[in-house]
Structure 1
Amino acid sequence: MIPSVQVSVIQNPGASSAQVVPAVMRVIRNLETEFPGIKFEVAYDNAHFVDILFDNVWHELILAVILTAIAVMFFLGEWRGTLIALVTLPTSLALAVLMMVPFGMTFNSGTLIGLLLSIGRLVDDSIIDIHAVERHLRMGKDPKTATIDGIAEVRLAVIASTLMIVIALAPLLFAGGITQMMFRELVWPLIFGLLASMLVSFTLTALLCANLLRHEEARDADRRHPVLRWIYLLVDPFQRLLDRLERGYGRSLRWALGNRFINLCRVLATLILGLAFYYFIGSEMMPLADTGQAVGFLEMEPGTSFAGTEAAVKKLEAIMLKHPELEKASIEVGAETMFESWTPFFTGYQMPQVNGAAMMLTFSDKDKRKRTIFQLMDTIRAEALRTIPGIRRLQIKEMGSDVMATAAAPIHVNVYGPDLQELDRLGRETLQVAEKMPEMFQPGRTWTLGLPDYRIQADPQRAQEVGLSPAAIAQQAYYALRGGLTNEFWRAPNLRQNTILVRYEQEDRARLEDVESLYVTTPDGRQILLKSVARVERASAPTAIEHDGLKRVIGVTGYYRIGSLPSMDVVMNLVANTYGGSKKLGVEPVNFPPGYGMEMRGDMTQMMDSFRRLLTGLALSLVLMYLVLVVQFRGFLQPLQMIASLPLELSGVFIALWLAGQAFSTVSILGIIVLTGMDITTAVLLIDMIMRTRDTRAASRRTADAPQTAMDAGRAESAPGRPPSVVERDEAIIEACPQRLRPILMTAGITLVVMLPVALAPKTGLDAYQPLATAVVGGLLMGTILSLYDIPIMHTYVDDFLRWLHRTFLGREYVWKHPETDDQPTPPGPAGPEEAPARA
């Protein structure tokens, strides 16, 4: 590292790093050509991380498409349906990207993750359509008729399932605060993908199904094809497995319907067990991410000269260069101007003063090194504190891949009170507590007493004798110590406006004797020593005076690490140990006088606000989804069984986070919101098929003018004590649900295939979304499996409740009736009292 002049180029908020950085590099190359003596080196390049992120996300997108194609082939079991899905998937993706254009959106980490999340759903609508058309083809219909009837059968279910997820996500777009900033560009592409998938299923999927899908005879010919034959050798065993699963699911569902109380106890036990895991996973604002970039701040003891700071920085540079993982470093040694205390640093951190330095570090991609960025930062800091004397504070923070990338320390508590001396004591003792906590990394406090402060007390009588006022003495002393600017002047040949800072050299004002020996000028032009007209005292002043809520505060900050306690738990432990002490750590309680106290800041306040906004959005989503389901199912009770099944997904989420060693965060809540829409989709598919089957059976019963079919009558006789209508309901459930098993498993399987790489081994730039993928994987696994049983059982409870309402308040029995015959008179029969309107 060599001394240099740093030039920072900051792009406009709406600009793209991928376009700005190459343009800047072209200008730099032109300058090097024009001025051969100038050498430019890039110390920090935002495009470095952007390029890595884009490569990794595009890799995940391509991998997701390939895995989706393989999954579709295995689930559908024939190449024609797979071809349809492979055509509709990129079409939906392209349409979603096209929808982003009017909104001025660009490709970034948020939008690309949104598109990645949508892949599992982009083929969902087409898969449901294909499966429905194939079922009608097996009935002997021609392809066009099967396409019309099959897609018409599931059209409302497809619309409802898409709207469920859109409604679940929409409140996040208007949540406000940092929550909206974090998730806006992720949610929009996801919504666009869902809408594009629905539009493609309306049009392109139907067209392809009518022209490509064939009866079994044509498929037998495909199996004799020399290339396709090998594919079917791999696919057919999986198809036979799915057939066995459907039959086994029907048998297990029959048992579950006959043992509803046992299943209800199992649901409650699962819910309680899953929620209990919440207390073992902790909470944080955003997950830590290893992006390979870090920002640091070095502060020497107050009063350290510029030369002393520079010497310490050179030692720090030598320590950093020992690590081959470091690719670039830019260290800016403290400013020595009259503006040193307030000039802003371009990252958002304060410009270092004469005793400080700011640094930007770039490490190699995490896939190319064995140590994480956190291990490197802690190793560098530990060696620096051990070998470099005079360091008051050294903190190095990773730059994440989200909106919190340049935020301050995640762990931050403010000690408030009126007196600076007392605040300094409380801050020092609180820091001592933090330093003994093993889960607290790089603790520090925001300011300290000890800044050299010269207090000049003028002697009024002596000053009057020489013709000086106290104000004149103070002004001359100020200019000597802090400096003053000359008048502006123009300098040829470029006629630039210039000014000069005039003040004593630092070595001429470093000691008390130097200050006393300063000369002041009297009105008659004589120069006399400052100590002849004033008394100079040296005192200690705070390095900064901070206020929070109109109260003086001192902050104690720190960081946490992956594998240790998350930020919220660390803050709570710090507060508890400060107020109550800890025998385990060997610390006594800090004594807070009246008027002094501690408040939590940092991630804690952001976290509480974000959690509140996200949970409010989730509650609003549930209300809106319920209203949409009421419209679709023409009743208020049927949708309740779908909403009531949602808490079960939380068990899977919390257990998955605990197994993965991840904390509950804002992205986890986003995963729960996405899961909510997915689980509602499963419920919609099951209930829609159950109701259609019951409608068909009711219509058949009325056509035959009989209370039940002969087959169901036989079953009713074998189930003493159960009304025939209950037996018919259960048989309709057992008949309907296995028909929806394959598309439900297919949708869940594709989503799992897409999310598992992000959940298990995320690449650079995707770290921050790992808990989202983990939440989706865990919630989807448990939610899908449980919903296959719990939704039908909840349907029977709702049905029983309707029967009770009819008997209690209407005095007649409840019978399911086909909606097309609800308003038509029913012919009299032996079961006349049962023939009341049934749809709730």
Structure 2
Amino acid sequence: MLKSQLHLYRQGEGVSGSQAGPVWRFHLRFMRGFEAFRESYRAALTWALARRSGVAVVFALFCIGSGILATQLGQDFFPQVDGGQLRLHVRAPAGTRLETTEELFARVEDKIREIIPPSKLDTILDNIGLPVLPINMAYTDSATIGSGDGEILISLKRERKRGETWEYARRLRQELPSAFPEMTFFFRSADMVSQILNFGIPAPINIQVLGPNQEANYRIARAIERRLRRAPGAVDVRLHQVLDAPELRINVDRTRAGQMGLTQRDVANSLLVSLSSSGQVSPNYWVHPRTGVSYLIAVQTPEYRITSLDAIRNTPLASAKAGPPQLLSNLAAAERMTTPMAIGHYNVQPVLDVYAGVQDRDLGSIAKEVDRIVAEFRGKLPRGSQIQVRGQIETMRESFRGLTGGLVLAIALVYLLMAVNFQSWLDPFLILMALPGAFSGIIWSLYVTQTTINVPSLMGAIMSIGVATANSILLVTFANQRRAEGLTPVEAALSAAATRLRPVLMTAGAMILGMLPMSLGLGEGGEQNAPIGRAVIGGLLAATIATLFFVPVAYSFFKEKVRPRPPEEDAEMLQ
């Protein structure tokens, strides 16, 4: 009775005049079109089942070719996001005074405004030098190491094209060093996502040379820096530690100072008070009686009075003991030398850091260049030294290993669970036959859209594999039921595929349509999630074709010599 009513529903018979509206007419037209499509699919599958060997060879060649194509895909930890912000670090020659640095930054700003038109530029903010009070050192940037260092934060307007931020960064990298050859320029991560992915390191790539032999390690670090600069795609390559800053060293004659009733500490305190104020030696605060606000009171020699080395030599020295004050020139000699501006340690050992960024190339390709460079210089290290690579390269490889291992374990677990459910080792194998097609579709979708392999695309691969497996389960389960009714493997595969065509297409189509807006990467930060949608769409398109054609072919081939399960045994298993 239900079957006859369903037949009338499909044919549109018995429809009253009130029901024969535009929606019903559209439904009938759609049903006739889908039935015609189903018959065409049945004919195509019949042709494929008659040529199983050829279909298997074509499918195998497609998967092998896709695997070869996968070697052409780049690798990134996460996609870059165009947040409309640039973080330009500017480094003047070591020892540059703060006032001179400010003048240089003003000239650099004028050059930036020439490169970025006013219609695109929103704001420019400068952060120059280091804070005076030691407590603020915890909040400063690790890349700023002196009064000649600073950052220029550039914010672009929303009315810009996608990718225009990176184009401006490319132009600034080319033109600023030519206009200011005495200064060093490099970009740092401006968006929060990239800063988090760097895990506190000021660049995506960090090559560390560790060991006690600082002189030999410095030569190797400089050689690595020069070698990495020649690598295509590596930008902003620099050695973080500056070891040649000018220094004025005061050598105190302790014997003579002792004769005058002074100690080394007295001389150092007097110089600090004169040059850096008493706030460095003995901070003194005054509390406003009405507001309760504390103010630092400091005593310091005016800077305009210290204009030469002789002015420093004439600094008076005070002693806690009674005695006449002495001049610095009577007790000490001044000597010009060089000193490091920044000293780094990693696991207690002294370290030299070579930082680099990436432009117009994927991180995986740069990582291979870094591996070759590190292997080249490892044999030249002095005893007790070592080279270590940190940054996004290390994190990316660990994440890829974890996701790949998890994916393999997930497939194995799903296979074992299905083997228990189907009471068969063959049926789960046939169900997983669609997965090579899913992987191939993912590779082709990433290649066509010029998307690299990254964590979001791997997440999309896992999602598409789950849906592809569910569709294959639907087809193989119904084919087993048809075989239990007495059909041959070929007939059962053909009947199951034609009957389950609608739910398979509905499941895959709903997922594809749902992922389409995400794959376009629309909106602010859309580049971050676009690989998920692209991987899901490509994987489901290829997996659906594999489910509808290759899985029935494989089923009919492997089930030829397998005894069909009795109907009551199959029904008991399904319960």
TM-score, length-normalised on structure 1?
A: 0.61
Could you tell me how far 1:575 is from its partner in structure 2? 4.2
SS in 2 for 1:661: coil
Distance 1:514 1:420 in 2: 35
Judge conservation of contact 1:297–1:395 (CA < 8 Å) in 2: yes
1:819 and 2:568 are equivalent in the alignment:
yes
Which one of 539, 549, 566 corresponds to residue 347 of structure 2? 549
Task: Say what the alpha-carbon RMSD is for the aligned residues.
Answer: 3.4
Decide which of 356, 360, 372 is 2:149's aligned counterpart: 356
Map 1:643-792 onto structure 2 (within 5 A). Answer: 643-695=432-484, 697-698=485-486, 728-760=488-520, 762-792=522-552
Is 1:559 aligned with 2:357? yes
Amino acid at match of 1:140: Q
Moved more, 411-420 or 604-613: 411-420
Moved more, 674-683 or 251-260: 251-260
Matched, 1:334 2:129: yes
How far off is 1:447 after superposition? 1.6
User: Is residue 2:460 matched to residue 1:460?
Assistant: no
Asked whether the equivalents of residues 456 and 537 of structure 1 are also in contact (C-alpha less than 8 Å), the reply is yes
1:535 aligns with 2:362: no
Aligned to 2:212: 418
Cα–Cα, structure 1 residues 141 and 744, in superposed 2: closer, same or farther, change >3 Å? closer
Over residues 553-608 of structure 1, what are the superposed CA-to-partner deviations in whole Å (9 max), with x where a residue is unaligned?
A: 222222223xx321121132144256559xxxxxxx99544444432211111112
- Which residue of structure 2 lines up, in the alignment, with residue 260 of structure 1? 52
TM-score normalized with structure 2 length:
0.87
Structure 2: runs of 5+ lacking an equivalent: none
1:439-588 → structure 2 map (5 Å cutoff): 439-483=233-277, 484=280, 485-504=282-301, 512-522=309-319, 523-561=321-359, 564-577=360-373, 580=376
Displacement of 1:462 after TM fit?
Answer: 0.8
CA distance 1:479–1:631, change in 2 (3 Å): farther
**Partner amino acid, structure 1, of 2:513:** V
Distance apart, 1:327 and its partner CA: 1.3
CA 1:444–1:819 in 2, change beyond 3 Å: closer, same or farther?
farther
Secondary structure of the corresponding residue to residue 522 of structure 2? coil
Residues 1:284 and 1:342: Cα distance change in structure 2 (over 3 Å): same
SS at match of 2:130: coil
Counterparts of 2:310 and 2:503, CA distance in 1 = 86
2:171 aligned residue? 379
Change (3 A) 1:507 1:646: farther
CA contact (8 A) 1:393 1:444 kept: no
| Separation (CA, whole Å) in 1 of partners of 2:428 and 2:347 | 47
Distance 1:401 1:338, change over 3 A: closer
* Separation of aligned partners in 1, 2:105 and 2:18: 72
* 1:316 and 2:108 are equivalent in the alignment: yes
Deviation at 1:313, TM superposition (A): 1.8
Distance 1:298 1:514, change over 3 A: farther
Tell me how far apart the structure 2 counterparts of residues 400 and 777 of structure 1 sit (CA, whole Å): 29
Paired residue total = 565
Alpha-carbon shift at residue 537 of structure 1 (Å): 2.5
Aligned to 2:77: 285
Mean CA deviation greater in 303-312 or 405-414: 405-414
Partners of 1:405 and 1:293 in 2: how far apart?
17
Preserved contact between residue 411 and residue 570 of structure 1 (Cα < 8 Å): no
Helix, strand or coil: the match of 1:343? helix
Q: 1:274 to 1:389 in 2, by over 3 A?
A: closer
Which residue of structure 1 lines up, in the alignment, with residue 184 of structure 2?
A: 392
Counterpart of 2:123 in 1: which secondary structure? strand
How big is the shift at 1:496? 1.7
Identify, as 1 or 2, the structure richer in helix: 1
- Contact persistence 2:82–2:163 (CA under 8 A): no
Deviation at 1:651, TM superposition (A): 1.6
Which residue is equivalent to 2:67? 275
Shift of 1:286: 0.6
User: What is the SS of the residue equivalent to 1:646?
Assistant: helix
The residue aligned with 2:98 is 306
Deviation track 1:117-175 (CA, whole Å, cap 9, x = no partner) reads: xxxxxxxxxxxxxxxxxxx96652599xxxxxxxxxxxxxxxxxxxxxxxxxxxxxxxx
Matches within 5 A, 1:55-74: none
**1:589-645 CA-partner distances (Å, limit 9, x unpaired):** 995444444322111111122112222332343244334434543444322322343
Whether the 8 Å CA contact 2:213–2:382 is kept in 1: the answer is no
- 649-658 vs 600-609, greater mean Cα deviation: 649-658
| Structure 1 counterpart SS, 2:137 | coil
Measure, in 1, the Cα distance between the counterparts of 2:570 and 2:419: 20
Distance 1:465 1:772 in 2: 78
Q: Aligned AA for 1:554?
A: L
1:682 deviates by: 1.4
Summarize the Cα distance change of 1:218–1:378 in structure 2 as closer, same or farther, 3 Å threshold.
Answer: farther
What's 2:5 paired with? Answer: 140
Change (3 A) 1:470 1:404: closer
Question: Which shows bigger deviation, 512-521 or 774-783?
Answer: 512-521
Is the contact made by 1:568 and 1:603 (CA closer than 8 Å) also made in structure 2?
A: no
The gaps in structure 1 that reach 5 residues or longer are 1-135, 144-212, 582-588, 699-726, 804-813, 824-837
SS of residue matched to 1:448: coil
Q: Take 2:368 and 2:46, find their aligned partners in 1: how far apart are those partners? A: 50
Deviation of 1:752 (Å) = 2.8
Separation (CA, whole Å) in 2 of partners of 1:601 and 1:376? 28
Cα distance between partner residues in 1 of 2:236 and 2:16 = 68
Partners of 1:381 and 1:396 within 8 A in 2: no
- SS at 2:86 equivalent: strand
What is the SS of the residue equivalent to 1:468?
coil
Q: State the distance in 2 between where 1:506 and 1:336 align.
A: 18
Compared with structure 1, are the counterparts of its residues 451 and 298 closer, same or farther at alpha carbon in structure 2 (3 Å cutoff)?
same
Distance 1:457 1:451 in 2: 18
